[in-house]
Amino acid sequence: MLEGIPKREYPRIFFRFLKRTLQVFMGKTSFKLYRTYYFRIIFKEIFKEDEKVKWEGCLSVIPKAFWPPQYYRYLESIIILCGKYSIPECDVKKDDVVFDVGAHFGFFSYFALQKGAKKVYAFEPNPYVYKFLKRNVEIWGDRIIPFDLALHSSDGYGELLIPQDETEMTARLFRGIEESGKKVKVRKVTLDRFVKENAVKRVDFIKIDVEGGEREVIKGARETIKKFKPRMAIAAYHLPDDKKVIPELVLSIRDDYKYKLVNKGEEKDLFFF
């Protein structure tokens, strides 16, 4: 398990293992998930469809019945997305109205609820992922409202490029270049239009992680950003110049934002406040 990991990382890995072990006894992590993650070679767990599980307090449902290592990919998404935003810079506050753009299975939406959000609008255009998002929302409560829409810079329809593994987090709007995968027609809408048509009175926090389409989402949210100045968490690692272009774009809408780039391992996120 430690092959290829620098020795200086061993203490951190050990204490994380110890913490997760304690969370099993505290009821915050399901024993089956724990065994799958750490001992999947020994324990070949079978998970039932719609079985409820927990990982570090994050409640979810199993998307379908299957064996590791296929399930391991889903477990990794729980681990990454439950912990990715648990940092001081991601300042979701009590009674916030939150937009989760690129919701995937909805773990950021769940995180926002845990922080006290009043309502979360969760957007996931990948139809194969959206059905799992809806299942999760059913157990998380009606403060999360899911939509199978792609937020973009224009209204209409577009083609979503779906990877071979249909539930991966890499589905993105087709950009006209040769890429492998199948294409699914999805409805596009600007965030500004959605806010207007749904009479959203305020927007306090926006999270955007849409596999390289972040700039298009921002362009379609110009009036909302200008009016409400929401705090934002925006993925900045999909395109080489994201770290430069995204701040320039946001500041062209409102020049009174401050921002910080946070490195989360392989991923980098820009937080605006």
68-77, 163-172, 203-212: range with lowest mean pLDDT: 163-172
Query: How far apart, in whole angstroms, are the C-alpha atoms of residue 195 and residue 212?
Result: 23
pLDDT of residue 79: 64
φ, ψ of residue 31 in degrees (nearest 5): -60, -35
Query: How far apart, in whole angstroms, are the C-alpha atoms of residue 45 and residue 32?
Result: 7
Q: Residue 169: pLDDT above 60?
A: no
Tell me if 271 sits within 8 A of 260, measured CB to CB. Answer: yes
- CATH second-level architecture of 97-272? 3-Layer(aba) Sandwich (3.40)
Beta 52-55 vs 58-61: how paired, if at all? Answer: antiparallel
Rounded to the nearest integer, the mean pLDDT of the chain is 84
Q: At what angle do helices 10-25 and 31-39 cross, to 10 degrees?
A: 150
Q: Where is mean pLDDT largest: 46-60, 148-162, 166-180?
A: 148-162
Model-level pTM?
A: 0.78
Cα dihedral sign, 123-128-131-136: negative
Residue 100 tokens read as 């989760």
The residues of the chain that CATH labels 3.40.50.150 are 97-272
179-204 exposure pattern, b = at least 16 Cβ within 10 A, e = fewer = eebeebebebbbbbbbbeeeebeebb
Name the nearest CA neighbour of 59 among 141, 121, 119, 142: 141
